[in-house]
Amino acid sequence: MNDLFLKSAFSQKTERPPVWMMRQAGRFMPQYWEIKNKYSFLEMCKTPEIAADVTMLPVNLLDIDAAILFSDILVTGEAMGGDLSFTQGVGPKFANPVRTQADVDALNIDCLDKLQYVADAIKVIQQRLNGRIPLIGFAGAPFTVMSYLIEGGSSRDFKLTKLFIHNQPALAHQLLAKIAKVTADYLNMQIAAGVNAIQIFDSWAQALAWDDYKEFSHNYIAQIISQLNRKDIPVISFCKGSSVFAPLMAEAKPDVISIDWNVDLLDIKQRLPENIAVQGNLDPHILYADKAVIKDRIHRLFDRMKDTPGFIFNLGHGIMPDIPFDNVKYAIDVVREYQY
Ligand code: CP3
Average pLDDT per block of 10 residues along the chain, 340 residues long = 96 96 97 97 98 98 97 98 93 97 98 98 98 98 98 96 98 98 98 98 97 98 98 97 97 98 98 98 98 98 95 98 98 92
Tell me: is residue 26 an annotated ligand-binding position.
Answer: yes
CA quadruple 34, 73, 115, 31: dihedral, nearest 10: 10
Residue whose CB lies within 8 A of the most ligand 1 atoms, among 23, 147, 202, for a mutation test:
23
Tell me: is residue 230 an annotated ligand-binding position.
Answer: no
Domain ranges of the chain: 27-281
Task: State residue 1's pLDDT score.
Answer: 85
What fold does the segment set 27-281 form as a domain? Answer: TIM Barrel (3.20.20)
Task: State residue 307's pLDDT score.
Answer: 87
d(CA 101, CA 182): 19
Ligand 1 pocket by Cβ (under 6 Å):
22-27, 36, 41, 68, 70, 72-74, 86, 88, 91-92, 138, 154, 201, 203, 318
Task: State residue 260's pLDDT score.
Answer: 98
d(CA 269, CA 291): 28
Output the DSSP codes for 241-289: THHHHHHHHHHT--SEEE--TTS-HHHHHHTS-TT-EEEEEE-GGGGGS
Give counts: helices (H), strands (E), the chain: 16, 9
Handedness of CA 49, 51, 53, 59 (dihedral sign): negative
In 3-state terms, what secondary structure has residue 131? Answer: coil
Tell me: is residue 72 an annotated ligand-binding position.
Answer: yes
d(CA 71, CA 269): 30
Task: State residue 120's pLDDT score.
Answer: 98
Task: State residue 220's pLDDT score.
Answer: 98
